[in-house]
């Protein structure tokens, strides 16, 4: 009999989380050992349950799935990460790979495909949605620096330059420079368009 694969599931939508847990639990060789609804819960639960695989959404309350993937690589390197997201954005794929994820799938596939991906990731393979891989190659790398991303992330709710400066601990003049650079690199007309373009590409 094959070994049972222990899985931690991180998904903020309760109905989706329950459905995934139920469907994956029907597989003879997969056991859901932890379910969490926020990014802040991932590392503590992973340290407590020591799963073989962490199945993570990206956009979660608290820490994102990408941040949590990096946490797991540092604190629990034997746990492999498989990203499962609604948002098939090339920038997200690149960031997931940089964070040490072993796989990246979008949620519109059948559960059998997800179960197969879990087995393949455990076996040491890298599993990436083919269409997304092609899009990531054609999109090229993220043009924004970390500081430019920080400033744009602080601008998502329409904050003023002074608000952004306070949030990222920079002077207003420096914030303006970073915003101007980000607007230029995203080929947009203003900071809100730059935020939108960066999010659509998965750069934020």
Q: Identify the structural domains of the chain with CATH numbers, from first to last.
A: 5-138 (3.40.50.2300), 146-200 (1.10.10.10)
* Most distant CA atoms of the chain, gap in Å: 64
Per-residue pLDDT, 138? 58
Per-residue pLDDT, 134? 66
Span 41-70, average pLDDT: 95
Per-residue pLDDT, 10? 97
Q: What is the DSSP letter of 87?
A: -
* Dihedral sign (CA 7, 38, 141, 131): positive
| SS3 of residue 111 by DSSP | helix
Per-residue pLDDT, 110? 85
CA dist., res. 188 & res. 50, Å (int): 45
Span 125-136, average pLDDT: 79
pLDDT (tens digit per residue) in 78-91: 999 999 988 777 77
| SS3 of residue 9 by DSSP | strand
Nearest-Å Rg of the Cα atoms of the chain is: 18
Per-residue pLDDT, 95? 85
Question: How many Cα atoms are found within 13 Å in the side-chain-facing hemisphere of 57?
Answer: 23
């Amino acid at each position: 009999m094959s070994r049972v694969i222990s899985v931690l599931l991180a998904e903020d939508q309760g109905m989706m989380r329950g459905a995934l847990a139920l469907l994956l639990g029907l597989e003879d060789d997969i056991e859901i050992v932890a379910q969490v609804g926020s990014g802040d819960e991932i590392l503590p639960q992973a340290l407590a349950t020591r799963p073989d695989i962490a199945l993570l959404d990206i956009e979660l309350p608290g820490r994102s799935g990408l941040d949590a993937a990096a946490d797991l690589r540092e604190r629990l390197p034997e746990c492999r990460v498989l990203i499962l997201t609604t948002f098939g954005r090339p920038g997200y794929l690149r960031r997931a790979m940089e964070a040490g994820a072993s796989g990246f799938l979008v949620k519109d596939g059948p559960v059998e495909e997800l179960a197969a991906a879990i087995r393949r990731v455990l076996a040491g393979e890298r599993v990436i949605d083919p269409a997304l891989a092609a899009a990531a190659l054609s999109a090229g790398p993220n043009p924004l620096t970390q500081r430019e991303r920080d400033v744009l992330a602080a601008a998502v709710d329409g904050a003023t330059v002074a608000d952004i400066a306070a949030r990222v601990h920079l002077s207003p003049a420096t914030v303006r420079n970073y915003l101007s650079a980000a607007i230029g690199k995203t080929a947009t007309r203003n900071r809100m368009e730059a935020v939108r373009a960066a999010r659509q590409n998965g750069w934020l």
